[in-house]
Chain A
Amino acid sequence: MMVSASRGAIISRILAAIFGCYAFVWGVVALGVAALHGAGLEYHAAEQAMMMLAFLLYLGLFLWTFAAASVRRVWLVLAGGSAVMLAAAWQLQRMIIG
């Protein structure tokens, strides 16, 4: 198979698929658990629901990383999204605990 992408770009996508998506899903899980629990769902139910969602999301993001046209945008979405959601989860937790 002929690869029409540079070696660096491929390595960048592989790293994004494994670690970038992982960080993003981490953010979704943390924010999701805090939000669902904040909305009144029992803590462990919120946790379990997010764990089940996590891997379907990871799967989708993983494929998107390789399907997307721009690897820079992939990184931007994954890293930016992760940072924002982790911060939001932390803030939400502080508001819930009060």
Chain B
Amino acid sequence: MLNSFRQSMAWVHTWFGLVLGFVLMVAFFFGALSVFDREIDRWAIPETRFEPQPMPSYDNLLKQVFADLKPHPLDMAATAERVIGDLPAPETMPMVGLFAYTTHRDPVLRIGAEFAIPNKPIDSKDDHLHVHGWATIDPRTGAALPDDQLKIGSNWFYPMHYSLQVHWKNIGVFVVGLAALVMLVALVTGVIMHRKLFKEFFTFRPKKRTQRSTLDLHNMTGVVALPFHFFFAFTGLVIFASFYYFPVSGTLLKPLHDRHEVIEAEHTGLPHDEAGVPAELASVDAMVAEAKRIWAERDMAGEVGLLMIEHLGDANGYVSIYRAGSDRVALVGEGIHFKASTGEVLREEPPSDPVGAVNEFLTGLHLQHFEHWTLRWLYVAGGLLGCICIATGFVFFVEKRKQEHAKRGLQGCRLVDAMAVTTVTGMVLAAVAMLVANRLLPDAMPGRGDWEKWTFWAVWLLSLLHALWRSAPVAQARSNPAWREQCWALALACVAAVLLNWLTTGDHLLKTMLLEPYWAVAGVDLSLLACALVSVFTARRLARTVEVKQASRIDGVAYE
């Protein structure tokens, strides 16, 4: 496109990196937080600050819990729009399928169920017509947690990571997907642009002028974590590929896919359809014991991660029991399926074929169900390195152009810099402000979770307005004071969150680290304090640069 191949690649790197960089920043930062989503949940919902629990007994506890579970009003409303005629009353809908899910980091248990309805769909291709119900319960007692309590880690930060919380037509998922592709593009073009790959491992000159040291840091963080960045962008795309990005099986190749499903159902012996004959459920606990025995026989003893029942209450019903993936990277379920009415083993899933094994490894590498705390922290480090790489990319873009823009009276740098402030300090500020709101809002407040979400968006929007308002100096080739000011605000918010946690729950760091160790909460508190320290350091460092620059200003133009 341009004069040379390398120039074209540099153009792609600069402009795609800039535009999608704002999205990548969100994906990397909230991805890093999602590594500890369950721990953030514990911080945000103090009633759930107890030890992780294994899957509880079905016969003695879950059976009753599911008997009490009703279709969720939200899904009732959503389904009503997809079907002809009125839905029957929720109490009368029969439960036809259910699941319970936990991991080695979950004190609470997620459960859900499908309820059958007699209505026909408006769109005849709509072939999954059920109403869903869901809840989160305390697996020790079966008591449900209030629906209003937002799981900030796993239901807000984690979906933010892959969907930006923009759910209309799944736009968010596609924008993040494009950003992930651009991450791959930026890595390849970045390597093409520089060539001196090895040298950049060791080059960082923090005392040089901002433009130089920023580029050093951009290159270093990009190169040091190159395999990490590549793998995460790539596996993230693969995880969503068949459902969102290339849904061939649900569209063009649906006939082929459906034919395969029916053949597979015959082959596996797992009934594809209901028999229409009611049947009782045998002891699920006995099936769980049998599944554990089979796993132990294969030399991979483990706990139950996922329990599902399909065609519940029907003679064709079956119970599927999957292993929790705590002890390996690959996300393998080693599923064992039992006939629901008798408890006999219908099928043991064979080891996956080579393609499946690669896929499970890639998926597992990204989703990290394994129990390995050091590796988990390395993931956080990798994610934050990605953030540094992207943020320094923004800063370099601005530093490289702002002198020229100032001379020519252009406003481009000013806008990019304000957007950079918003997606760097503003984004972190929004996340921490949400935690502060979580501790300040009254427990019994209706719609409490929604208020937390609004706090998040409002603070983020304010940070944008603040950055724009304070951005005038950038047009004169100086720096935006909003960087510094938001760093101070962030430091305050972090300390406030830690103090509020102490005041409202009594869990101060001395207690969570030493007296009654509870590392989920201690870890969040310590991370907040570390964030405060980094913010203060950055704010002070930025103030120093401004002084130097002001001292070296001659005739209204800054010389560095």
Contacts and interface: CB of A to CB of B under 8 A. Distances in A.
B2 A3 contact: yes
Nearest to A89: B252
B116 interface: no
B256 A34 contact: yes
Interface string B227-251: 0000000100110011001101100
Given A1-B7, A1-B11, A48-B242, A59 B181 contact: yes
A66 B8 contact: yes
Contacts, number: 111
A55 B256 contact: no
A89 B253 contact: yes
Interface stretch (B89-97, B354-362, B477-485): B354-362
B260 to A, nearest CB: 4
Contacts of B264: 43
A78 interface: no
Contacts of B245: 54
Contacts of A5: 1-2
B185 A63 contact: yes
Interface string A35-69: 00100011111111111101110110011001110
Interface in B1-33: 1-3, 5, 7-12, 14
A93 B12 contact: no
Contacts of B1: 5, 9-10, 13, 66-68, 71
Contacts of B2: 1, 3-5
B301 interface: no
A59 to B, nearest CB: 5
Interface residues of B, number: 40
B358 A51 contact: no
A3 B189 contact: no
Interface bin, chain A = 35 or more
A43 B267 CA distance: 13
Nearest to B182: A62
B241 A55 contact: yes
A86 B184 CA distance: 26
Contacts of B253: 30, 33-34, 89, 93
B356 A45 contact: yes
A45 B238 contact: no
A57 to B, nearest CB: 11
B259 interface: yes
B178 interface: yes
A84 interface: no
A9 B1 CA distance: 9
A72 B1 CA distance: 12
B238 A93 contact: no
Q: By DSSP majority rule, is chain A's interface helix, strand, loop, or mixed?
A: helix
B47 interface: no
A67 B9 contact: yes
Contacts of B8: 66-67
A52 B362 contact: yes
B123 interface: no
Contacts of A63: 9, 12, 185, 188-189
Interface in B335-362: 353, 355-356, 358-359, 362
Given A48-B359, A67-B1, A29 B246 contact: yes
A5 B7 CA distance: 12
A96 B257 CA distance: 11
B246 A59 contact: no
B255 interface: yes
A18 B175 CA distance: 11
Nearest to B3: A4
Contacts of A26: 246, 248
Nearest to B233: A55
A54 B256 contact: no
A9 B185 CA distance: 20
Contacts of B188: 59, 63
B10 to A, nearest CB: 7
Contacts of A42: 353
A62 B248 contact: no
Contacts of B14: 1
Contacts of A49: 355
Contacts of A50: 246, 248
Given A30-B253, A66-B1, A45 B353 contact: yes
Contacts of A41: 355
Contact of B356 (A1, A37, A44): A44
Contacts of B257: 43
A75 B327 CA distance: 48
Interface of B: 1-3, 5, 7-12, 14, 178, 181, 184-185, 188-189, 234, 237-238, 241-242, 245-246, 248-249, 252-253, 255-257, 259-260, 264, 353, 355-356, 358-359, 362
Given A4-B3, A45-B356, A51-B359, 19 more contacts: A1-B11, A5-B2, A9-B1, A18-B178, A37-B256, A43-B257, A44-B260, A45-B353, A48-B359, A49-B355, A51-B246, A52-B238, A54-B245, A55-B234, A55-B237, A59-B181, A66-B1, A93-B253, A96-B256
